[in-house]
Copies of this chain bind each other. A is one copy, B any other.
Amino acid sequence: MPDAAKIRETLSTYVERWNASDKDGWLSLFVEDATQEDPVGGPVNTGHEAIGRFWDLMKGMGDSRLEIAAGPIVCGAEAAMPIRITADVGGTSLALDAVDVMSFAEDGRIASMRAFVELPGA
């Protein structure tokens, strides 16, 4: 089981690298065959290449910033992280509450990620 402190470090680094637009650093936090479902119910991206395409799509839509809103709450090899997303999309400011639910590999990297978020107009 990965150490809780290591998981917390992965999560804070995840947010920092997203906000710093450090794509390679952010992708390196996922294991090679990680799965990512963002939003929950949408397509599941598997592996760095597919998750990198998700990054490109999101970053191409406009500026966005993540902030940890509570926790993160770590239970064994899993965690739930409430986040506040602020974004500027086509001149419109958005603020969204989301929850990222993740599982972690032995080394503390992300093995799976599911993002609970309600997209405006979806």
Contacts and interface: CB of A to CB of B under 8 A. Distances in A.
A79 interface: yes
Interface of A is mostly: strand
A62 B30 CA distance: 41
A80 interface: yes
Number of chain A interface residues as a range: 20 to 34
Given A75-B39, A75-B116, A75-B118, A82 B69 contact: yes
Contacts of A39: 75
A66 to B, nearest CB: 14
Contacts of A79: 116
5 contacts: A69-B82, A71-B99, A75-B116, A75-B118, A82-B99
